[in-house]
Amino acid sequence: MMDNIILKAENVSKQYRLGLVGTGTITHDLNRWWHRIRGKEDPYLIVGEINDRSSKGNSNYVWALKDINFEVKQGEVLGIIGKNGAGKSTLLKILSRVTSPSTGQIKTKGRIASLLEVGTGFHGEMTGRENIYLNGAILGMTKKEIHSKIDQIIDFSGCERYIDTPVKRYSSGMTVRLAFAVAAFLEPEILVIDEVLAVGDAEFQKKAIGKMQEISRGKGRTVLFVSHNMASIRNLCDRTIMLKNGTVHMTGNTDAVIQEYLSESMKTRSDNVFKSKFVEKVEVQNNPIEIGKEFMLKIIFKGNYKEKINYCFLGVENEDQRRVFSIGTHLDNNFDKSFSHGDSLTCTINSLNIVKGCYKAFIAIGTNMPRKNLEVIYDAVFFDVIDNNYFNNGLSLNRKQGDVVFNSNWALNEE
Amino acid sequence: MLFLVGIKNNIDLIKEDKDEWLYSITSNKGVINLNFKEIWNYRDLLFLFVKRDVITLYKQTVLGPLWYFIQPLFTSIIFTLIFNNIADIKTGNGIPPFLFNLASISAWNYFSTCLNGTSDTFKKNQGIFGKVYFPRVIMPISTIVSNLIKFGIQLLVFICFYIYFVFFTESASNIQVNIAVLWFPLVVLVMALLGLGLGMIISSMTTKYRDLSFLVSFGVQLLMYGSAVMYPISLIEKKVSECVLPNYVGVLIEFNPMTTVIELFRYLALGVGEVSLFKIGYITIISILVFLLGLIIFNRTEKQFIDTV
């Protein structure tokens, strides 16, 4: 049954104490203990601040997670995204029972196995085969289970040749392959995965993603997947939770949540431009842009530098950090000027035929002959592309269908 | 009909709603909630950990498992030279001092390796404990079991020397094996429980405050001197009655459970020493209490330790 809820988090909170453990801590511990034997609540659970990594707080206690509620249905692949320090890893640690919540509870109807970091418990002195058994057992398999799958595991890892060699002789990629192979053949009802796909070569990453899709789609197993890689979140997850400062900021459809995540990161846009030596301001003048319409960019220069600058380059990337297109002054044959002293530079693209989504661009500034970058401003500008009925029939293309969008004309030549 | 189906679905839904959750993850503060069934489910892991400990210990060494023999042998020789030849401690009954020391050291080694091995469980394994869940108690138990294997090998060495002394030397007549050997498993169990219990307590207490771990490394060394390893307990009694040794020291040594364990072990193996049923009962109860206490503390610690270790 699709609506069967397999995992439920109720008001899960986790408090951490900052600073060092030292003699000062013991007084707090004694106080806590004194409250407990009198049957009172932990006095330090009352204090505690929202976990914002960058702001300075007054309390030594912070809530890494505060009142997290969510449900996961059977067979669902749930993505969890959030900035560094938003509480993703803490949540996973609680889910995989490495640590327990300060308050609240998580109820589950199935075994949870976690793949927090592959290769956990590998012993360098033991052979690949021995490590498969050990690692499998650590992840909760019985010897019999592993024994029945060992050939498949070895085959999937692609390390057959090395299987009876100590793991310390393996390359790091091979270790990861072996470890992922073991985990891939785990059969828990719920699998928790954290950023494993960031390792291994392209071939293996593809294999791993394929395997994860097979796990969730084919066998109806539930997967909780944490990643910073929006492409793999989008590929794998039906639904996504976005955490922010230890709370659930948004849950819902993956595309919508990713959209929110990216626009959130735009709000807190980097002050790279602010720090720039040459550039005062960069803006896309008609943001958001409709597909196929004009793209107008304006760069205003500062007036206090001596260098002669006559080159500007812009690289536009999509949400998956993949370059979509590049533009530059040197590519425009009609442009041959140097700019300085509060000048502003505008760039127009007549029709921007790229698929809807969020984009960001870096700017490189320098001299053209010889070409030399004097400064590169990463994440200098962000813009959105929206689909305002481009095809005139209510249909639209999404990112999975490609980066560019064209109107196409079809004709049938009848006999 | 449709209506009925509707009702049936409703019932199904209600049923599902009340479905038992398999388990829940909470900040449970109960005194003890050990899940023995779960531990049993992980028995294969226990076995594999033991296997890992045994096969990886002497990897890339030339002498390999011979190190199992060398350490107790050399210690016994040194002990014999110092305590028996120089300090002139009598082993009683004309038992060869070397054999006396070998017996004591084998037994003591088992206890001390168990204690040392388990007392830094959390610290040593924080990498793996921080990543995956399995019943943490598997770790210290695997240490106990793999040390048991080592102990078995050392026991074989002891038996070899035993046979040598009985059949090829003059001191044969003084050694008597008796039916009391049947107590042997109890001695091992008591040592294991004591080592495990104390180890679990110490490892739990050192997760937040590391102070205790400094104590363990030399404390175990010192404890050996208070556990009648290189002298018979009768010697202490004699010294106390001669007023050479303060009375309280004598009492401390006598009621140190390990004293009785070592004494009992020598009694079983060599037929020397003083043991009484009272003492056997005493050490059994103490070891069970220590073990249970250790289990409770360990169980309380395992859920939170990763935040403080």
Tokens for B93, please give them. 């009954």
CATH 2.60.40.2550 intervals, chain A: 272-393
Mean pLDDT (10-residue bins), chain A, 415 residues: 76 80 69 76 67 62 86 88 83 84 86 70 85 87 89 88 88 82 81 67 74 72 81 82 89 85 65 75 82 88 78 87 89 81 85 88 86 85 83 82 89 87
Task: Answer yes or no: do B131 and A134 touch at CB < 8 A.
Answer: no
pLDDT of residue A125: 84
Distance CA(A303)–CA(B109), nearest Å, equals: 79
Q: Is the pLDDT of residue B196 over 80?
A: yes
3-state DSSP of B155-172: HHHHHHHHHHHHHHCHHH
Task: Answer yes or no: do B24 and A107 touch at CB < 8 A.
Answer: yes
Crossing angle of helices B257-270 and B277-301, rounded to 10°: 130
Distance CA(A66)–CA(B294), nearest Å, equals: 33
Question: Distance (Å) from the C-alpha of residue A169 to the closest C-alpha of chain B?
Answer: 14
For B50, nearest residue in chain A (alpha carbons): A134
Torsion of CA B157, B160, B162, B163, to 10 degrees: 170
ipTM above 0.85, yes or no: no
φ, ψ dihedrals at A380, nearest 5°: -75, -35
Q: Quick check: is B302 in a domain?
A: yes
Residues 286-305 in B contacting A (C-alpha not used; CB under 8 Å): 303-304
What is the average pLDDT score of chain B?
A: 82
Nearest-CA neighbor of A117 among A100, A133, A138?
A: A138
Between residues B162 and A18, the one the model is more confident about: B162
Tokens for A191, please give them. 């699998």
pLDDT band for position B13 (cuts 50, 70, 90): very low
Q: Quick check: is B53 in a domain?
A: yes
Tokens for B291, please give them. 């073990």
pLDDT over 90, % of chain B: 22
Q: Quick check: is B17 in a domain?
A: no
Residues whose CB is less than 8 angstroms from the CB of residue A180 and which lie 6 or more positions away in sequence, other chains included: A115, A118, A157, A196, A200, A204, A208
> Can you give the length of chain A in residues?
415
pLDDT of residue B5: 40
Task: Answer yes or no: do B208 and A29 touch at CB < 8 A.
Answer: yes
Q: Quick check: is B230 in a domain?
A: yes
Q: Which burial class, exposed, middle or buried, applies to B39 when counting CB atoms under 10 A from its CB (0-12, 13-18, 19+)?
A: middle
pLDDT of residue B28: 61
**Would an 8 Å CB–CB cutoff place A16 in contact with chain B?**
yes
Instruction: Indicate the CATH number for domain A5-11+66-264.
Output: 3.40.50.300
**Would an 8 Å CB–CB cutoff place A104 in contact with chain B?**
yes
Mutate to test the interface with B, among A99, A123, A143, A191 (most CBs of B within 10 A): A99
Q: How far from each other are the two terminal CA atoms of chain A, in whole angstroms?
A: 52
pLDDT of residue B177: 66
pLDDT of residue B31: 56
Identify the domain containing residue B92 by its residue range: 36-308
Concatenated DSSP letters for A231-249?
HHHHHH-SEEEEEETTEEE
Q: Which residues of A8-20 are buried (b: 16+ CB within 10 A; e: fewer)?
A: bbbebbbbbbeee
Crossing angle of helices A172-184 and A202-213, rounded to 10°: 10
Task: Answer yes or no: do B60 and A125 touch at CB < 8 A.
Answer: yes
pLDDT of residue A48: 63
**Would an 8 Å CB–CB cutoff place A116 in contact with chain B?**
yes
On the question of a cis peptide bond just before residue A288, with omega within 30 degrees of 0, the verdict is yes
Nearest-CA neighbor of A9 among A238, A219, A190?
A: A190
**Would an 8 Å CB–CB cutoff place B214 in contact with chain A?**
no
Q: Quick check: is B19 in a domain?
A: no
CATH 3.40.50.300 intervals, chain A: 5-11+66-264
Going by DSSP bridges, is the β-strand pair A190-194/A112-115 parallel, antiparallel, or unpaired? parallel
Contact (CB, 8 A) for A156 and A187? no
- Tell whether the torsion through CA atoms of B18, B21, B22 and B23 is positive or negative: negative
Which chain B residues are Cβ-neighbours of A97 within 8 angstroms? 25, 133
Instruction: Indicate the CATH number for domain A272-393.
Output: 2.60.40.2550
What's the whole-number mean pLDDT along residues B25-49?
Answer: 78
Q: Is the pLDDT of residue B12 over 70?
A: no
Number of structural domains (chain B) is 1
**Amino acid identity, position A257:** V
Task: Answer yes or no: do A134 and B52 touch at CB < 8 A.
Answer: yes
